[in-house]
Chains A and B, each alone.
Chain A
């Protein structure tokens, strides 16, 4: 039902001094209203106005939204950029002697067809390899063994292994980038503290990436809905080794 106090939209009055006066009043009240709102907003939101409490700490609820909050970083655990191998030999002081992959591979001829250590006569013996139909040089860069291979021929640092894996494992890479794949520790609220995330090879052995079978820990001792004294059903559970 139309409000009788408001003029009907179709019945516009001719432009006159009266309507001009009304327009002026509308503009003036709009300006005044805006000024008033700005004053109130300034009192509420201006930085530096929030009152510190006794301890001198600004209550986060009172802190202004205009103030940029410090956002902590999401750190991704990274391997060293260049891998080295333990030779088994030791320095005079007992430290293991480690050499770069390129130390040996600079003088050997890359064999594109090798799939795993079983085909090798020496070195990398005992390496479990179970990763689809890939060959060693699917991931290792035959032109530079101190880095990984990108499909377009470029290189990927060992530290950026996620980029290597993501070339084939698209959905996992997408989920990882959006935080729904891969473990993490720290803070969900980055304004309160940092977060640390695993990278692919923290959980997956790159040469045998399927997550291994494990013994579960922490077997329930009894049916938790019952009084402990009344429970005998699971007394014969043998203890499970805690890793």
Chain B
């Protein structure tokens, strides 16, 4: 009996047993899973260089490293967009604290500022991305949630007022405190910036911002090469990669070089006032000292650098 059993379990030479079959299946599945796990590595090469993958946080970069990165980014813009661009890393200046004010008595809601932002900051053309959202609001209420952004009729309507909303450059920015990787921070001139190469795209900051000021790049921005704005900065309007957050930077590539923001220059009614809070003779100081200014959602304690005011 035992002999018979032994004979039964001894495999005939060359035949496939269940065990070997299972082994083979296991090995195949294992190999497939391994290949699948490595797939992103084969995909990354065209779009993500080793240098980019190993790049340090913005604030840990030496000047030499930054120079290399800027060259790499300029080359990428040439390869991907066919555009000759110049990207600089422009630092904040001492003695400068930026602030913005907007006159709601004058704004007519024409959205020229949003359009100028779109062009200046190299936003994706297909989604008409812009850092500015102009809200049409009922007179007598300041409830942001009741504002509509997609109005489509001649402006200004008599019973409405118009409130452009962009990043408020808060002094206590909730978007900065929620970022799990410190990819966004407040610079010493008051501008909240994002290191697009450090951002992991978790969108916590988008959820944390009470002003809906942050945008996510769902896809790589598509811009015809002749429309690419070639004057760029690392922390502002260089063309962003896919899957990262972006936001208004008060056009720091312009303003840190002394120029006015693009949205201000585009405003046909002169509703916007920009300047240095530390300069007592600046227009922004005159507005803060002489007009009845307010900030959005003051009760949240975010301390915005963006002020609104009425003339009357």
Residues of chain A touching chain B, judged by Cβ–Cβ distance below 8 Å, are 60-61, 171, 175, 178-189, 191-193, 195, 198, 203, 211, 213-222, 224-225, 227-228, 234, 237-238, 240
Contact = CB atoms under 8 A, between A and B. Distances in A.
Given A187-B259, A187-B260, A220 B276 contact: no
Contacts of B153: 215
B106 A222 contact: no
A195 B115 CA distance: 22
B128 A188 contact: no
B150 A183 contact: no
B94 interface: yes
B101 interface: yes
B276 A189 contact: yes
25 contacts: A61-B93, A175-B311, A179-B273, A179-B282, A179-B286, A180-B101, A180-B283, A181-B103, A182-B270, A184-B270, A186-B259, A188-B259, A188-B275, A188-B282, A203-B268, A213-B156, A215-B153, A215-B155, A217-B110, A217-B115, A218-B114, A218-B128, A218-B130, A220-B150, A228-B219
A188 B93 CA distance: 14
Interface string B130-156: 100110000000000000011111111
Contact of A171 (B219, B259, B273, B311): B311
Closest 7 CB pairs of A and B: A192-B258, A179-B283, A189-B258, A183-B270, A218-B115, A213-B154, A182-B270
B127 A180 contact: no
A189 B111 CA distance: 26
B36 interface: no
Given A182-B270, A187-B258, A191-B258, A214 B155 contact: yes
Contact of B258 (A188, A203, A240): A188
Contact of A214 (B108, B259, B264, B270): B108
Interface string B53-78: 00000000000000000000000000
Interface string B65-108: 00000000000000000000000000001100000010100101
Contacts of B171: none
B109 A216 contact: yes
Contact of B111 (A185, A187, A213, A218): A218
Contacts of A228: 126-127, 218-219
Interface of B: 93-94, 101, 103, 106, 108-112, 114-115, 118, 126-130, 133-134, 149-156, 206, 212, 215, 218-219, 255, 257-260, 264-265, 267-270, 273-276, 282-283, 286-287, 290-291, 311
A217 B286 CA distance: 31
Contacts of B273: 179-180
Given A188-B258, A217-B112, A225-B206, A180 B155 contact: no
Contacts of B129: 224
A198 B133 CA distance: 25
Nearest to A61: B94
Nearest to A214: B110
Contact of B154 (A193, A214, A218): A214
B84 to A, nearest CB: 23
Contacts of A203: 268-270
Nearest to B119: A218
B291 A222 contact: no
B111 A180 contact: no
A198 B270 contact: yes
